[in-house]
Every structure is written in C-alpha cells, then in structure tokens.
Amino acid sequence: MKAKTPKSPQPKSASKPKPLTAEQVRFFHEEGYVIVPNVFAPADLEPLRRELEAAIDEKALELKAEGKLTHLHAELDFDHRLAALYRDSKENGEAIMRRLEGLRSGGFRAPEMFDVIVHPKLLAKVSSLLGTQEVVASSVYRLRPKLPNIGRGVVPWHQDSGYFVAACDEELIITCWVPLVDATAENGCMQILPRTHRGPVVEHHTGGNQGFLVIQDENLPADPRQAITAACPRGGVVFMTNRTPHCSTPNYSDHVRWSIDLRYQSAEVPNNVAAMPKKIDAIGKADPAFYAKANVACYPPEADFVVQSRDSKAVAAYPDYVRRRETYEHIKTGYAPGRHWPNSAKPPAEK
C-alpha cells in the first residue's frame, strides 16, 4: 500500500526555516515515520550532487591511470554514469563506491555533505520532532548509491536500533532519509512497517545481504504485506524513528537511486561529543569494566557532533567535523559498535 502523507504547510514568504506542523509531528510519533516533500529546494542539493559527480570522475581517472579502466563514460550524467562503470567492471564499480559510501575505511566527507547535514531547513524539521533546539548529529550517516538490477543495494528488514547499543533502545534517534533523485517503487525506495515502533527492539540476525543485519520474517512485529511504499520526491525527506522496521527494495530502473541517510538526536541522548577515542580508551585501560558499564554513545565507533545549540560555541564547524571523524576512523577503540546478534540468516543471492 502507498504511504500516507500528512498535508505539508503552505509555503510562506519568510526567511526563517519552518518546523513541521503539529499534524506532521503527531503523525510521526503515531506512525513511526513521516514523509515530507519540499524540505529542500532542488538547488539546495545540487552542490552535493556535483561534488559526488566530481568524486566519481576523480576515482575513474585514477583507475584509468592504473590501467584498470578504459571507458570513462564521461558523456553520461550523474544519475547514469556509475551504473555504466559498474556494468563494465564490478571491481572498478566497487572501488568507486568504497570511495563514496561513508564507511569507516574512508568515505565521503566533502563540505557539501556537511552543508546538508547542518542545513537549517532540515534542522528546523528535526528540532520539531525532537522537541529541543539542542541537536547532535548522530555518529553514523551513510551515502547510498543503489545501482540498477544489482542486489548489492538491497537492504533487508531491520530497525536502526539493531545497530545501536541496547542502552539506547528507549531513546529517540531520528533517521532522515534524503533522496538525491525521485525515489520510487521502481528504483528501490524504502518499505516501512507503520505503527510498529513502540514495541521492543526485536531480534536481529547477522548474515544479511552485504553484511547487513536482518529481521527474519517470524520476528517481524507485523506482516510485511502491511508495509507502506515510502516513495519520496527529490527535495523531500523520509523521517523515521530508530525502532521503525524498514527495508530497501531492488532498483529496476535504468538509473542510480542516490540517497543519503542522516541521524539526529537530542543532546541529552548518550553521545561522544565531549571525548575523543584516546581519552575514552585511556579510561578503559584504567578500568576494564568501563566499556560494559559506560554508555559512551549509541553507536560508539563513529563521531557525534553538535549541529544546533543555543550555545553557538558548541556547534561544530566543518574542520571540527572532519577532525572528529578522521580521529575516530584511525584509532582502534575498545568498545563494541552494538550488541551480539545470532548469526543464522542466509543472505539472498546477488542479482
């Protein structure tokens, strides 16, 4: 069934970004998600699209110089070029995506990405859902290029809380899923199980497609046939709670379904904004029980940073954001990223 979307507020001539309406906030807390079109103007996302296009070109030229790639497909636009490069060579396509996807082994952290994370239009909506002006960008965000007819980008049913420490199960961490193209059922938009976010975090298993966690059908809190199709236009945002079960379906179109997912939380939710890994590890060495008893952050391996606060000095600038992420990536920490789930899921065959 199609997603229900509450009415968006009518645009007004005002420079201050608008929060969500009371109806949209109510819908989010009752349904576990809300789809909001026109959070961004197309021009707001264009710098990020251009920078991603440049990053693809840079890595493709690097691979060509190494003799690994012959056809640059420079004639193709941003929505089609990566798919063509992957079709020519899976190895080259994977190398380009590793450069982009924002994982701990590197990732895309250009100023244009930071500008979206801290964009006032997005933060105004997030603040109205959190009920506070003190907002932390949660430790994990991802860039998702879902290629046509390739099983790599298919994400099985899960709750984001499955990846977080159990101590944060009752906290609210908002996922903002931002498509950089129109996200449709054809190109693999998300499926969401509404009104299932108030129960506990259900059992997950390791071993899902591409190493993702997966909720097996018997553990889903509702029949998957009750899922809504979370189609969302470019410029819109799908807001979800961390306990909302969702999955991502195959891309049957002829273009890449580009999206990013960002996470935000109240500054009162456990976070690591006040500490660098060396400091945390120094405490852990002195007190081995520290990691077990201390709620360092909901997703400890990556850096949290303040994006909105009444104390303007606390808000991270772009150099702070880069420094924190790079520090967390290069120091091996003693704490685990989440919890230990059983490994009994069988990953689907890649298409």
H or E element, residue 143: strand 142-146
Q: What is the pLDDT of residues 176-230, one digit of tens each?
A: 999 999 999 999 999 999 999 999 999 999 988 888 999 999 999 999 999 999 9
pLDDT at res. 2: 57
Q: Are 116 and 45 in contact (CB under 8 A)?
A: yes
pLDDT averaged over the chain?
Answer: 87
294 pLDDT above the threshold of 90 = no
DSSP 8-state class, residue 154: -
d(CA 256, CA 277) in angstroms, rounded, equals: 36
3-state SS, 58-84, equals: HHHHHHHHCCCCCCCCCCCCHHHHHHH
Confidence tier at 101 by pLDDT (50, 70, 90) = confident
pLDDT in tens, 63-83: 999 999 999 999 999 999 999
Nearest Cα residue to 182 out of 236, 249, 233: 233
More confident residue, 61 or 291: 61
How many CB atoms are closer than 10 A to CB 41? 10
The length of the chain in residues reads 351
User: Which residues share a beta bridge with 230?
Assistant: 190
Q: Give CA separation, 332 vs 135, 280, 319, in Å.
A: 27, 11, 22
Query: What phi, psi does 82 have (nearest 5°)?
Result: -60, -35
Domains of the chain: 22-44+109-330 (2.60.120.620), 45-100 (no CATH)
Q: How confident is the model at residue 336 (pLDDT cuts 50, 70, 90)?
A: low
Tell me the per-residue pLDDT of 234-267, one tens digit each, with 9 for 90 and over: 999 999 999 999 999 999 999 999 999 999 999 9
346 band by pLDDT with thresholds 50, 70 and 90: low
